[in-house]
Chain A
């Protein structure tokens, strides 16, 4: 079975996807401002947006295996948008930390980024993700030629750093981060040929 959607319907599906990806974020902040997120809304908004970023990243990595395995080529049209939402969630995650956790105490903000290894790691992932977001337009992609793909292969590293950052931030029970490591491993297993190729070239 080959499932596909007509090209002229893609904008419609994109609009729907925008709703699905953006609504939780709006809902989150409405609840946060209305004091409907329990006793500590700050913890909730930070965690929610962090998980949103990791989830979007992993979903974006799921697109090409799905497209190839089930011949769902049209899915590729949505990959960039999902990747950009990963960036939006990650940006909100950091802004939440700055606005609501450290409350514009820039010395504390910068101190925490450099002193806490798990935050440093998260920040590295964010800067890499920022570079992908900035180069995501079709125009820049054409200009960058082969380098574009090289840069955007960093998405594999970003997702890994994101999952490690999550694992490292957890206080005691690591079940959930381990599930994410497993998901990441499964997604990378689809790319084992390419990973092998890269590791051979490194030798």
Chain B
């Protein structure tokens, strides 16, 4: 039996995706392509000048399956429409422009899949594709997602607590951190074989959490959104979701979780250590060197006037549940 306690900071279900927008998404993706290629003058709308060199677009749509799960309670916060959640992605493995992952990932094969749990644990194990959906009870959780680029969404994820996975592995006393790794498969992931499309970062993408962060009930291993399995651009078949941290911590398409004794290296921290820290907790007080983090644009439905700017909350509004993890730490130094 699942016992759920609802906290004031939890989001609740409220709104369903407009079917019309969903069905229309191919249309506007095409529109954006037209803008990019057609307007010589304008250089870069969605597509860049360099797109004239040609990108590969696989038009066969990835098949998502319906999932069975415990639904979340109704939400006071407006959900970001599904069509926006699945077409606005930072997943450089499939292209560094926001619209590219949805266009360049549709041929991605997620079955078979192996997620390997290893390192400082008594019971290392692997989860294959079917296990991802069967090994743990699935539940829906509506979380705010705050990108380090100062935009945000509200997403109904489906998944299981990372803590359940950790407990199953029985970490040894040496296990202090978890090191996550994304699939490395340049054959399938165009960003990994093309440096320009891949945004110039080194692969595989790696991330990490401290043990107590991983055990926090908010930390979710997600296998789906909006009632269905994850599409590739959102990190199929399994990804991390840590809603009190900037989005780049929530690593996608995970193949490995290794328990280690010291802080593991992380991709964005390696690339630009003064801009992206290991902790990356959402913090309106500590700006990114190139922009303010005090507020954010919430992406909801509607055109350019509907993208409302709202104040960013400490720990993305989840302070009640996670602030105690960092008591005594100077969050200006551990950004």
Q: Which residues of A contact B (CB under 8 A)?
A: 20-21, 24, 27-28, 31-45, 47-48, 51-52, 54-56, 59, 100-103, 105, 108, 111-112, 115-116, 118, 168-169, 171-176, 179
| A39 & B88 in contact (Cβ 8 Å cutoff) | yes
Cβ of B127 within 8 Å of any chain A Cβ, yes or no, is no
Most chain B CB inside 10 Å of its own CB: which residue of A45, A48, A168, A173: A173
| A116 & B290 in contact (Cβ 8 Å cutoff) | yes
Which B residue's beta carbon lies closest to that of A103?
Answer: B309
Which A residue's beta carbon lies closest to that of B197?
Answer: A173
A-B contact count (CB 8 A): 139
| A33 & B305 in contact (Cβ 8 Å cutoff) | yes
**CB within 8 A of A42: which of B39, B301, B307?**
B307
**CB within 8 A of B303: which of A21, A35, A172?**
A35
Nearest first, the 6 closest Cβ-Cβ pairs linking A and B are: A39-B88, A51-B43, A39-B84, A35-B303, A173-B200, A32-B304
A51-B303 CB under 8 A given contacts A38-B88, A172-B199, A176-B49: no
**How distant is A28 from chain B, measured CB to nearest CB, in Å?**
7
9-residue interface stretch from B180-188, B291-299, B324-332: B291-299
**CB within 8 A of A33: which of B40, B299, B304?**
B304
Q: Which residues of B contact A (CB under 8 A)?
A: 28-29, 31-32, 35, 39-46, 48-50, 80, 83-85, 87-88, 92, 96, 98-99, 149, 151, 195-196, 198-201, 271-272, 287, 289-292, 294-295, 297, 299, 301-309
**CB within 8 A of A112: which of B43, B92, B199, B292?**
B292
Which A residue's beta carbon lies closest to that of B89?
Answer: A39
| B303 & A43 in contact (Cβ 8 Å cutoff) | no
Cα separation A31 to B92 with both chains bound (whole Å): 26
Contact residues in A for B305 (Cβ distance below 8 Å): 33, 100
| A54 & B43 in contact (Cβ 8 Å cutoff) | yes
| B304 & A42 in contact (Cβ 8 Å cutoff) | yes
Which B residue's beta carbon lies closest to that of A31?
Answer: B31
Which A residue's beta carbon lies closest to that of B99?
Answer: A38
Contact residues in B for A41 (Cβ distance below 8 Å): 303-304, 307
| A27 & B35 in contact (Cβ 8 Å cutoff) | yes
At the interface, is chain A mostly helix, strand, loop or mixed? helix
Which B residue's beta carbon lies closest to that of A118?
Answer: B290
| A101 & B41 in contact (Cβ 8 Å cutoff) | no
| B295 & A179 in contact (Cβ 8 Å cutoff) | no
| A48 & B45 in contact (Cβ 8 Å cutoff) | yes
Contact residues in B for A108 (Cβ distance below 8 Å): 292, 294-295
Cα separation A203 to B267 with both chains bound (whole Å): 47
Contact residues in B for A116 (Cβ distance below 8 Å): 289-291
Cα separation A174 to B271 with both chains bound (whole Å): 13
Cα separation A42 to B43 with both chains bound (whole Å): 17
Selected A-B contacts with CB under 8 Å, 29 pairs: A33-B303, A35-B304, A37-B45, A38-B46, A38-B84, A38-B87, A38-B99, A39-B80, A39-B299, A41-B304, A42-B297, A42-B304, A45-B304, A47-B45, A52-B42, A55-B40, A55-B42, A100-B304, A100-B305, A108-B294, A108-B295, A169-B290, A171-B199, A172-B92, A172-B200, A172-B271, A173-B195, A173-B196, A175-B196
**CB within 8 A of B200: which of A21, A55, A102, A174?**
A174
Which B residue's beta carbon lies closest to that of A39?
Answer: B88
| B50 & A55 in contact (Cβ 8 Å cutoff) | no
| B35 & A28 in contact (Cβ 8 Å cutoff) | yes
Contact residues in B for A173 (Cβ distance below 8 Å): 96, 195-196, 198-200
| A40 & B28 in contact (Cβ 8 Å cutoff) | no
Cα separation A176 to B250 with both chains bound (whole Å): 27
**How distant is A109 from chain B, measured CB to nearest CB, in Å?**
10
A105-B309 CB under 8 A given contacts A35-B302, A39-B88: yes
| A39 & B98 in contact (Cβ 8 Å cutoff) | yes
